[in-house]
Amino acid sequence: MKKELTDLDKDRIIEMAWEDRTTFDSILLQFGLKEQEVIELMRMEMKPSSFRMWRERVQGRKTKHEKLRSFEKGRFKCSRQRQINNNKISKR
């Protein structure tokens, strides 16, 4: 990893990676981590069985990749959006 992440940053990245509609591009924009770096972080921070479950879940999922999404305008806003702390781009 290029930059040193705090535990809070790691927790937020993991949360974003588990969310179906949060793209890897959003994680790159907010934290500067490419998709492969997110995968490496998930592998290091999770139990092996949890990592395998996550990989199965996100592989080929169109909503995790900005360019593969079928909609062009608008975005999904989680009902918990206001409750999520340390989301640097939530008020866009």
Domains of the chain, by residue range, sit at 1-56
Query: Nearest Cα to 89, choosing from 37, 35, 28, 33?
Result: 28
Per-residue model confidence as pLDDT tens digits over 26-52? 899 999 999 999 999 999 999 999 999
Is the pLDDT at 12 greater than 90? The verdict is: yes
| Residue 1 binned pLDDT confidence (cut-offs 50, 70, 90) | very low
**Is residue 32 a contact partner of residue 40, using CB atoms and an 8 Å limit?**
no
Q: Who has greater pLDDT, 91 or 11?
A: 11
| Residue 23 binned pLDDT confidence (cut-offs 50, 70, 90) | confident
Q: Is 72 left (phi over 0), alpha (psi -120 to 50) or beta?
A: alpha
Residue 81 has a pLDDT of 53
